[in-house]
Amino acid sequence: MASGNDHFSISGPTFLTRIDWTNAHHRRSVAASLVKGVYMLEGDRQDGRRGPECLALPWSEFFHFRYIAPLTESDECIFGAIFEFKPWDCSYHFNIHESPRYVIAFRGTLIKLGSLARDIQLDIDIIRNGLYRTSRSAIAINTVRDTVTKAGNSKVWLTGHSQGASIAMLAGKTMAKSGMFLESFLFNPPYILAPIERIGDETLKHGIRFAGTIIKAGVAFANAKNDKNKDSKTAVENKDPFAAICGWIPCLFVNREDPICSEYIGYFEHRRKLESFGFGGKSIARQTSQSSLGNLVLNAVGVQGVESSEPLHLLPSANLTVNLSSCPSQDFKQAHGLCQWWRPDLDLKCDVYKYN
The Cα–Cα gap between 20 and 294 comes to 44
Structural domain includes residue 298: yes
Q: Which range, of 191-200, 230-239, 285-294, 316-325, averages the lowest pLDDT?
A: 230-239
Where is the domain boundary, 160, 187, 214?
187
Q: Which range, of 74-88, 128-142, 246-260, 276-290, averages the lowest pLDDT?
A: 276-290
Residue 243: pLDDT band with limits 50, 70, 90: confident
Structural domain includes residue 282: yes
Structural domain includes residue 313: yes
Which pLDDT score is estimated for 297?
A: 41
Could you tell me if 278 and 165 lie in one domain?
Answer: no
Residue count (the chain): 356
pLDDT exceeds cutoff 60 at 221: no
pLDDT tens digits, residue range 305-354? Answer: 444 457 899 999 999 999 998 665 568 889 999 999 999 999 999 999 99
Could you tell me if 305 and 171 lie in one domain?
Answer: no
Which pLDDT score is estimated for 306?
A: 42
Could you tell me if 26 and 61 lie in one domain?
Answer: yes
Contact predicate 71/78, CB 8 Å? yes
Structural domain includes residue 256: no
Q: Which helix (H) or strand (E) covers residue 183, if one does?
A: strand 183-187
Could you tell me if 113 and 37 lie in one domain?
Answer: yes
Strands ordered across the beta sheet of 78-85: 65-72, 78-85, 102-106, 156-161, 183-187, 251-255, 318-323, 348-353
Which pLDDT score is estimated for 182?
A: 98
Could you tell me if 166 and 311 lie in one domain?
Answer: no
Tell me the DSSP string of 71-112: EE-TT--EEEEEEEE--S-GGGEESGGGS-SEEEEE-----S
pLDDT exceeds cutoff 60 at 117: yes
Q: Which range, of 84-88, 113-117, 159-163, 286-290, averages the lowest pLDDT?
A: 286-290
**What three-state secondary structure class fits 159?**
strand
Structural domain includes residue 257: no
Could you tell me if 177 and 227 lie in one domain?
Answer: no
Which pLDDT score is estimated for 307?
A: 44
Residue 275: pLDDT band with limits 50, 70, 90: confident
pLDDT tens digits, residue range 34-82? Answer: 999 999 999 999 999 998 899 999 999 999 999 999 999 988 999 999 9
Where is the domain boundary, 187, 215, 240?
187
* Interval 256-276 mean pLDDT: 89
Q: How many CA atoms lie within 13 A of 316 on its CB side?
A: 19
Could you tell me if 151 and 231 lie in one domain?
Answer: no
Where is the domain boundary, 162, 187, 212?
187
Which pLDDT score is estimated for 158?
A: 98
| Domain region containing 164 | 4-187
Pairing mode, strands 78-85 and 251-255: unpaired
Which pLDDT score is estimated for 203?
A: 72
**Bridge partners of residue 157, in order along the sequence:** 103, 183
* Interval 90-112 mean pLDDT: 94
Which pLDDT score is estimated for 233?
A: 46
State pTM to two decimals: 0.87
Could you tell me if 58 and 203 lie in one domain?
Answer: no
* Interval 101-125 mean pLDDT: 94
Structural domain includes residue 164: yes
* Interval 174-184 mean pLDDT: 96
Contact predicate 274/209, CB 8 Å? no
Averaged confidence pLDDT in the chain? 85
**What three-state secondary structure class fits 50?**
coil
Could you tell me if 121 and 207 lie in one domain?
Answer: no
Structural domain includes residue 297: yes
Per cent of the chain over pLDDT 90 is 62
Could you tell me if 141 and 229 lie in one domain?
Answer: no
Structural domain includes residue 113: yes
Helices (DSSP H) in the chain: which residue ranges?
8-11, 24-47, 58-61, 116-127, 135-151, 163-176, 202-226, 232-239, 263-275, 279-288, 293-300, 306-309, 332-336
Per cent of the chain over pLDDT 70 is 78
Cβ atoms < 10 Å from Cβ of 116? 13
**Bridge partners of residue 136, in order along the sequence:** none
Residue 278: pLDDT band with limits 50, 70, 90: low
The Cα–Cα gap between 267 and 289 comes to 8
Distances (CA, A) of 77 to 55, 91, 104, 160, 186: 17, 37, 16, 16, 21
| Number of domains forming the structure of the chain | 2
Residue 28: pLDDT band with limits 50, 70, 90: very high
pLDDT exceeds cutoff 60 at 19: yes
Which pLDDT score is estimated for 284?
A: 60
Could you tell me if 122 and 233 lie in one domain?
Answer: no
Could you tell me if 125 and 232 lie in one domain?
Answer: no
The Cα–Cα gap between 172 and 190 comes to 15
